[in-house]
Structure 1
């Protein structure tokens, strides 16, 4: 048998096993990082230490490499039992050190690892893991006693319970270069004893730690949750310090949390041509007013570090986005119940679809523990498909102005109906060019969805025609002025709707 490290788990596999044998439910489009065991002379000791506990594993990045060998002497793990805990921290020990307690409180963040002592006696020292931001006097030195921070397994801080202990302390070896690491999608890759396989990224959003919710970055965090809604991060650009996903560019995102972009930090760009792009950092860089911090990686940084342009990476984010728009009312009620959210709807009974949600952001909903939804009769929601491959710019504009870029249901005003044509006029900003693309050359089928391009005075008008026509498009313009952007799957009660009403559209993908 061979021993393999798969994400956070040690597993045993038979000789001759392949990569695909250990990846349950793997999306073959996604890349995984495979780190081969290196020769001893090719490996270097890092500042990271793995704490194997009875509740699970944590990796701590030490502030001072020299402290690792000085503090973690043989036999220390045997003395690290959970001695006390509260909502703020958990302490393991006691053991003896030579620290000099300052007899003053320090300020700590979630994940900080503190060296302190009980009763200001260094012979009764403890390793203290901070569960949330707080201020306390732990008998630490004058500098506060923070000797490291938890970089992997931070969720374990909330699961440590009475009787837990540290089983093993192990200094992690890091490879000096990329020669032993590959990023691959090959399920037939042979496994080797001691290999490390990292199949996905796990992240926590800004403002969601230790059971407490801070909504100050709620809107920018919501944009990040939308960008990874599919559970995928698309590496459009990679550099020595970060990788970038640009598929939601351009989008206006507020600069809510400007801070240092540490290794593992996740930010969204708030200004410039790439506004709306998501960044994950593999190396710390200084803060930028054009970037807002939206989260941090808690597992899988190796996959980020070794990925390249074009890679698709699996990502899981805590918390899951809470967006009920586009669900039936029954589905929305089920989601709210599963997540412990009290839901109030504007109507009850019947076949209804959610078309609006208040509060609009996940963190605000979770903080309040309640949400209100606006609904519409399902027959009044028009189901459409969009042809992004044939008309990429026009489809992008349509999604933006109707709200489909952010939710499964969008809306637009019905401005005119005559005979078999329905015309809509979504609000399009000045300077937005609608170039001719995917203009029809023959008969336009019934229930084609189209937008008037800039060759006509009515540029930006959206139309649906209920019968085929070989002379005029769905917006009643000549075919040269018509950009076909999709088709209507179910017009519902569109024919009964009056001019001036709001029509809701649901994109089916």
Structure 2
């Protein structure tokens, strides 16, 4: 018999058994961590945590022989000596190198050792704040000893009077055995093997005993991001894994704290705003990340997963988004979770569809123990199909500006109708570039849903045509100006609406 640990539980297996025998329901597209028997040891990393009076940052120094000045050494200057918009310098302290007396080019985040008056006895630890070229009294290679990998916002805040209070080399835990991730469920089991098949993340502010809703909006983004139960390792580094599969989304900055191993944050500014980060190592606080949760199971899987892999994820608590549900189904769910509710219109019609809820977020509902629901008749909600495979970029724009990106029910302003065409005008900013995508080449099928692309003046207009056409698309534009994004299923309901109405739409899968 084989002794196996599966997600923390001990079990036995037979010789010749495979991963599929202990994970019969596991999705074969999702990676699991396989840790063979061995020992775990401490590993010294190339990263240093630098603590200053303005905050912490982490630097990576590839050369193991390089050390940073000790701020506790009386011979070391640990206070800002000078700072401008290009760089900030701590010191002076004694060093040993030959200044080149020539300018070098530096990138933002470079860590440099230079000197004043070309005297290495008066050397400085210099942080490059932005790309620039300068003579910092460095060696012929520019004196770059490393780079800032976390906490770059801190180096922008450094000013006269700030000082380094501590420098410490970071330590990580490294498995000294052969540990891998795999999607091969035919892998043979070995005695003493440990299998981790998923990660669990608990939203910050939530426990089994109490709920603190202070970060409810950003925590809701966590629950929304992983509602399908899949974590996408779009990018991995030595310090973190990033999941950016939802694209750019706006998330409020609600909780700025140090990011320890297993911490989960959301990027709140920049190109990757809305991306989820899980940390493999401790890194410094960032003003552009808000802390939303903690990995409570499966950190081994996070340590091992690589670029492009996916794995199963469970979030706590379960997301409580009632939009799109029938009242009858919502009533059963709320009673099960011991949450009282009131319906703002017709409570007796169990087939009505929920279009809004107050409070809007899961943590707020759980904290209050009560929710108010707004509903409408099933006949007034229109079901649509969106084609992610053929028009992913345009479909994403449509979801963003109708509300379907975040919720199960979205809204479309009804603009105009003529003959067999119905037109809608979502509020899409002019700066959004709707590139031609999935433009038809011959006949457009009846009931096709389309958006006018940027090749025409009416870019962003949405339309549906109830009959086939080989000349003009659902928005009345020529075929080359039409992006087909899906179809309207409940097309017969459109006749009941008048111009100026807000139409509620619900996405269904095929």
State the alpha-carbon separation in 1 of the partners of residues 492 and 204 from structure 2.
41
Q: Does 1:290 align with 2:285?
A: no
Residue equivalent to 1:69: none
Alignment of structure 1 residues 339-418 onto 2, 5 Å: 339-345=337-343, 346-348=345-347, 349=349, 351-418=351-418
Q: CA deviation at 1:9?
A: 0.5
Give the count of matched residue pairs.
Answer: 379
Equivalent position SS for 2:489: strand
State the alpha-carbon separation in 1 of the partners of residues 175 and 35 from structure 2.
11
Q: CA deviation at 1:456?
A: 1.4
Judge conservation of contact 1:382–1:492 (CA < 8 Å) in 2: no
Residues 277-286 or 411-420, more deviating: 411-420
Residue equivalent to 1:224: 222
Q: CA deviation at 1:430?
A: 3.3
State the alpha-carbon separation in 1 of the partners of residues 466 and 199 from structure 2.
47
Deviations 1:28-51, CA, capped at 9 Å, x for gaps: 11110000012xxx64389xxxxx
Normalising by the residue count of structure 1, what TM-score does the alignment of the two structures yield? 0.72
Judge conservation of contact 1:450–1:475 (CA < 8 Å) in 2: yes
Judge conservation of contact 1:461–1:475 (CA < 8 Å) in 2: yes
Residue equivalent to 1:273: 271
Q: Which runs of 5+ in 2 are unaligned?
A: 44-171
Judge conservation of contact 1:401–1:428 (CA < 8 Å) in 2: yes
Q: CA deviation at 1:175?
A: 7.6
Residue equivalent to 1:44: 41
Residue equivalent to 1:212: 210
Q: CA deviation at 1:176?
A: 4.1
Q: CA deviation at 1:473?
A: 0.6
State the alpha-carbon separation in 2 of the partners of residues 373 and 357 from structure 1.
5
State the alpha-carbon separation in 1 of the partners of residues 491 and 382 from structure 2.
5
Residues 7-16 or 221-230, more deviating: 7-16
Residue equivalent to 1:237: 235
State the alpha-carbon separation in 1 of the partners of residues 447 and 41 from structure 2.
64
Q: Does 1:505 align with 2:476?
A: no
Judge conservation of contact 2:41–2:175 (CA < 8 Å) in 1: no
Judge conservation of contact 2:199–2:312 (CA < 8 Å) in 1: yes
Deviations 1:50-94, CA, capped at 9 Å, x for gaps: xxxxxxxxxxxxxxxxxxxxxxxxxxxxxxxxxxxxxxxxxxxxx
State the alpha-carbon separation in 2 of the partners of residues 14 and 208 from structure 1.
40
Equivalent position SS for 1:295: strand
State the alpha-carbon separation in 2 of the partners of residues 43 and 466 from structure 1.
65
State the alpha-carbon separation in 1 of the partners of residues 223 and 176 from structure 2.
31
Match 1:262 to one of 260, 263, 266:
260
Q: CA deviation at 1:465?
A: 0.8
Would the alpha carbon gap of residues 446 and 214 (structure 1) be closer, same or farther in structure 2, given more than 3 Å must change? Answer: same
Q: CA deviation at 1:249?
A: 2.0
State the alpha-carbon separation in 2 of the partners of residues 438 and 221 from structure 1.
36
Deviations 1:306-347, CA, capped at 9 Å, x for gaps: 000111111111100000111111111111111111121222
Equivalent position SS for 1:212: coil
Residue equivalent to 1:60: none
Residue equivalent to 1:469: 469
Residue equivalent to 1:425: 425
State the alpha-carbon separation in 1 of the partners of residues 479 and 176 from structure 2.
55
State the alpha-carbon separation in 2 of the partners of residues 209 and 430 from structure 1.
44
CA RMSD of aligned residues (A): 1.6
State the alpha-carbon separation in 1 of the partners of residues 375 and 461 from structure 2.
26
Judge conservation of contact 1:394–1:485 (CA < 8 Å) in 2: yes
State the alpha-carbon separation in 1 of the partners of residues 207 and 185 from structure 2.
36
Runs of 4+ in 1 over 2 A off after TM superposition: 42-46, 174-179
Residue equivalent to 2:3: 3
